[in-house]
A = this chain, B = another copy of it.
Amino acid sequence: MEELMPLPRVILQPMVENALLEDLGERGDITSLALIDSDVLTELNIIAREAGVICGLELMYLAFKLIDKNIEINYLVNDGDRVEAKTIIATVSGRAQALLTAERTALNFLTLLSGIATQTRSIVDEIQDFPAQITCTRKTIPNLRAIQKYAVRCGGAINHRMNLSDAILIKDNHIAIVGGISEAIRRAKLIAGHNIPIEVEIDNLNQLEKALFEGIQLVLLDNMDYPTMKQAVKMCQGKARTEASGGITLKTVKDVARTGVDFIAIGALTHSFKSLDIGLDYLSDESNDKTSAVSHWFKFFKK
Q: Contact residues of A with B, CB < 8 Å?
A: 2-3, 6-11, 15-36, 38-40, 42, 66-68, 80, 95-96, 98, 100-101, 104-105, 107-109, 111-112, 115, 124, 128, 133, 135, 138-146, 149-150, 153-156, 158-171, 173-174, 176-179, 184, 187-188, 190-197, 199, 218, 241, 243, 262-263, 268, 271-275, 282, 285, 293, 295-301, 303
Instruction: Note all chain B residues with C-beta closer than 8 A to A143.
Output: 15, 18-19, 22, 143-144
Name the residue in A195, A243, A299 with the highest tally of chain B Cβ atoms < 10 Å from its Cβ.
A195
**7 CB-based A-B contacts, threshold 8 Å:** A19-B143, A25-B163, A34-B187, A35-B177, A155-B300, A194-B199, A196-B197
A296 to chain B, nearest CB (A): 5
Contact in complex: B2, A38 (CB < 8 Å)? yes
A262–B17 Cα gap in the complex (Å)?
Answer: 35
Contact B11 A184 (CB under 8 A): no
A169–B10 Cα gap in the complex (Å)?
Answer: 22
Contacts of A42 in B (CB 8 A): 177
CA distance A115 to B263 in the complex (A): 27
- When distances are taken between beta carbons in the complex, the residues of chain B under 8 Å from A32 are 174
A194 partner residues in chain B, CB cutoff 8 A: 133, 135, 158, 160, 197, 199, 218, 241, 243, 262-263
How many angstroms between the C-alpha atoms of A98 and B45 in the bound complex?
A: 31
Q: Which chain B residues border A15 with CB–CB below 8 Å? A: 142-143
A164-B102 Cα distance, complex, nearest whole Å: 10
Q: Could you tell me if B133 and A35 are in contact, using CB atoms closer than 8 angstroms?
A: no
Nearest B residue to A173, CB-CB = B282
Other-chain contact of A101, B140, B164, B218 (Cβ < 8 Å): B164
Instruction: Give every chain B residue within 8 A of A24 (Cβ-Cβ).
Output: 8, 10-11, 163-165
Residue of B nearest to A281 (CB): B173
Q: Among the interface residues A30, A275, A297, which one has the most CB atoms of the partner chain B within 10 A? A: A30
